[in-house]
Amino acid sequence: MAAKRSMDELRERVVLGEFGVRNVHTTDFPGNYPGYDDAWDQRRFEEAFRVDVVREEDGVLEFDMVGIDAAIANAFRRILLAEVPTMAVEKVFVYNNTSIVQDEILAHRLGLIPIRADPRLFEYRNQGDEEGTEIDTLQFQLKIKCSRNPQAAKESSDPNELYFNHKVYSKHMTWVPLGNQTDLFPDADFRPVHDDILIALLRPGQEIDVLMHCVKGIGKDHAKFSPVATASYRLLPDITLLQPVEDEAAETLQKCFSPGVIEIQNIKGKKVARVANARLDTFSREVFRHEGLKNLVRLARVRNHYICKWLIFCRAESPILLCANKRRPASMCTLVSVFHFSLASLVFPCLYSCGELLRLWFGAALG
């Protein structure tokens, strides 16, 4: 019984010791544990797998993925960061830039602005194609000139009063349809995701007149194409009290963990500690600094339970998706469509490799 329990712990928990971490790697492969059937079983996986959404707000998606291995969860994270396409400014044609910001710095900043455009509506630009066509390019214009306000008070030193258009925001970027884009996207609203990104500061007489070409790209090429601010996950914490902890020790124990993790109950007049919500803990390992407490607690993480947090820019918003669903916040469609992409990116290369392999094998079998 004890042996089985320790084997289960080996398989299911990553244990945080005082000076190191144990049972880090996945070991549940066929043949490693006698008495366990570890061969891949799609049905067993589907029964055990579930997704619980904790929070879906504008720009943040927090959810739990349970029953999946690190290799695959990490693959999703990597795909989200590097291989989900978005649209971003690639070429900046500078007609006039008399501002204090140099051309190349301005172009760099414009490239990093997230654009609200569904990349599925566009193709990738062909290599070596300098001009770009209407199927692979989105054009924006930024034309702004700063002037003095004649109505400003004489003694005022506040730039907001003295000048017009002295702050260039991303809301000043306007979409300029190319070719037949007005017919293709009649209801489209292509603009930067955020209106209040400060691009440059101007003074009277300075102006910026640039034309920008946005293309479709992936994060691997340049980080500006990454749809997420960040995509991270952590394993679910699992705190077990190996012995009952009472009175003063209970108070100290409660202080060792993040607020809300340990709760003190009053049982028959004595204060007894109990693990209320291990999920809130950030594992500072403060408990190992107390001699009397360090052997009473086992800190571990559940190996196949991922608490994922994706911070996504609301970029990939398909107008079609939006029309189909007006009630839910737009970010949600985005987040799901992003996940849709990421899985497609993993599934289709596999399918493609499968096809390649079959072709290879077929060729080898023939001759």
CB of 341 to other proteins, least distance (A): 10
Positive or negative: CA dihedral 250, 251, 256, 261: positive
| Residues 185 and 319 sit within 8 Å (Cβ to Cβ) | yes
Stretch (H or E) spanning 64:
strand 60-66
Minimum distance, C-beta of residue 59 to other proteins, in the bound complex (Å): 15
Report, in Å, the least distance between residue 172 CB and other proteins: 33
Report how far residue 126's alpha carbon sits from residue 135's, in angstroms, rounded to the nearest whole number.
Answer: 11
- The smaller minimum CB distance to other proteins, of residues 93 and 348, is found at 348
CA gap 320, 118 in Å, rounded: 10
Closer to other proteins by Cβ: residue 71 or 242:
71
**Closest CB 69 distance from other proteins, rounded Å:** 6
Distance CA 182, CA 179 (A): 8
Q: Which is nearer to other proteins, 73 or 249 (CB)?
A: 73
Q: Specify the residue, 200 or 218, whose C-beta has the smaller distance to other proteins.
A: 218
Q: Which amino acid is at 277?
A: N
Smallest distance from the beta carbon of 318 to other proteins, in angstroms?
10
Query: Which residues, other chains included, contact 204 with Cβ-Cβ below 8 Å and sequence gap of 6+?
Result: 146, 147, 148, 163
Do the Cβ atoms of 62 and 307 come closer than 8 Å?
yes
Rg (CA), the chain: 28
Residues that bind other proteins (CB under 8 A): 26, 29-31, 38-40, 42, 45-46, 49-53, 56, 63, 65, 68-69, 71-72, 74-76, 78-79, 82-83, 127, 320-321, 324-325, 327-328, 332-333, 335-336, 339-340, 343, 346-362, 365-366
What minimum distance in Å lies between the beta carbon of 253 and other proteins?
Answer: 36
Cβ(334)–Cβ(317) below 8 Å: yes
Between 26 and 147, CB nearer to other proteins? 26
> Which residue(s) pair with 169 in the sheet?
198
Choose between 148 and 359: whose C-beta lies nearer to other proteins: 359
